[in-house]
Amino acid sequence: MKELARVFGVHRTTIRAALDRHGEPVRVRTISSVQVATASRLYLSGLSLTAVGEKLGFDAQTIANHLHRIGVPVREPHERV
């Protein structure tokens, strides 16, 4: 959906709504506890949320949300380790 949204210049929720209207199945990808632990380790080692997300196949906001849930403090965008 993310790639389709980029190609067509719309938000991914627009793509999702179109798929839903046409009864197309949508695969929901969730992050596992092992991936969250890996994300935490990578992030705490100094990688950015974006870099961690790219390594694990999720966007930066998903990584930030899960790190927040397990109590990992998320740096401000301009902060460095």
Rounded to two decimals, the pTM is 0.70
pLDDT at position 79, please?
A: 74
**CA-to-CA distance for 73 and 67, rounded, in angstroms?**
7
Question: CATH classification of 31-75 is 1.10.10, yes or no?
Answer: yes
Asked if 64 contacts 74 with a C-beta cutoff of 8 angstroms, the reply is yes
Which residue type does 1 have? M
Task: Give the pLDDT means over successive 10-residue stretches in the chain (81 positions).
Answer: 90 92 87 97 96 94 96 86 69
pLDDT at position 28, please?
A: 77
Cα of 22 vs its chain's centroid, Å = 26
Return the domain boundaries, the chain.
Answer: 1-29, 31-75
pLDDT at position 54, please?
A: 95
**CA-to-CA distance for 26 and 39, rounded, in angstroms?**
25
